[in-house]
């Protein structure tokens, strides 16, 4: 009996390929915290006092820097995060259109935060910006942990002082 052969150049469909395991979910790129009027007043007052101090010291560059920094801080504080698709597969992690293969990662941590989305922290093999923080719901977190633990070691992530200040400021 003769075997049927596929014509050359035919691309195999996903359904014919070996099944791959992956977890996909959509979430805001980062957790947005609504800023109150008090927050804006506090930022404005702090900036005003720092500008006064800079002018008293005759440090005009610092005064300009503070003015620019407060504009950026307020602008970033009002910006809502875009919704992004996240995917963890057997090849790596995809955030939106950016793919990070497991070879570029050295570990992960999954922080459970009651009343909020959990946080997946990927530890990159990089000196600059070594951590990628991804919001993940509780159901997806279980499957993500299973898949990642097969490829990467799970390690405890300790928040830096900058992380604590950013969270205190509502970022």
pLDDT in tens, 47-96: 999 999 999 999 999 999 999 999 998 998 888 888 889 999 888 888 88
- The 8-class DSSP code of residue 55 comes to H
Architecture in CATH of 22-30+82-169: Roll (2.30)
**Tell me, what's the pLDDT at 171?**
67
| Secondary structure (3-state) at 124 | strand
**Tell me, what's the pLDDT at 45?**
94
Cα 150 to its chain centre, rounded Å, is 22
Q: How many CA atoms lie within 13 A of 47 on its CB side?
A: 17
Q: What is the pTM of this model?
A: 0.67
Pairwise CA distance, residues 171 & 161, whole Å: 13
Each residue of 88-107: b (16+ CB within 10 Å) or e? Answer: bbeebbbeeeeeeebeebeb
Pairwise CA distance, residues 142 & 147, whole Å: 9
| 149 to 26, 33, 121, 135, 144: CA distances (angstroms) | 21, 31, 13, 18, 8
- Kindly tell me the number of DSSP H helices and DSSP E strands found in the chain: 4, 7
Low-confidence ranges of the chain (pLDDT < 50): 1-18
**Tell me, what's the pLDDT at 67?**
94
**Tell me, what's the pLDDT at 20?**
58
**Tell me, what's the pLDDT at 139?**
83
**Tell me, what's the pLDDT at 16?**
43
- Calculate helix-pair angle for 60-78, 37-56, nearest 10 degrees: 170
Which of 96, 101, 107 lies closest to 24, judged by CA? 96
């Amino acid at each position: 009996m003769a075997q049927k052969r596929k014509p050359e150049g035919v691309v195999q469909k996903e359904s014919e390929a070996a099944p791959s395991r992956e977890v996909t979910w959509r979430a805001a790129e980062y957790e947005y915290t609504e800023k109150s009027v008090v927050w804006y007043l506090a930022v404005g007052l702090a900036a005003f006092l720092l500008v006064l101090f800079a002018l008293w010291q005759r440090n005009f560059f610092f005064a300009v820097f503070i003015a620019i920094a407060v504009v950026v801080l307020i602008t970033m504080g009002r910006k809502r995060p875009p919704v992004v698709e996240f995917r963890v597969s057997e090849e790596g992690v995809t955030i939106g259109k950016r793919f990070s293969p497991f070879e570029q990662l050295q570990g992960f941590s999954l922080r459970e935060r009651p009343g909020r989305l959990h946080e997946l922290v990927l530890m990159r093999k990089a000196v600059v910006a070594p951590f990628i923080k991804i919001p993940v719901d509780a159901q997806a977190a279980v499957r993500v942990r299973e898949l990642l633990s097969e490829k990467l070691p799970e390690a405890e992530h300790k928040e830096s002082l900058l992380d604590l200040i950013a969270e205190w400021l509502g970022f």
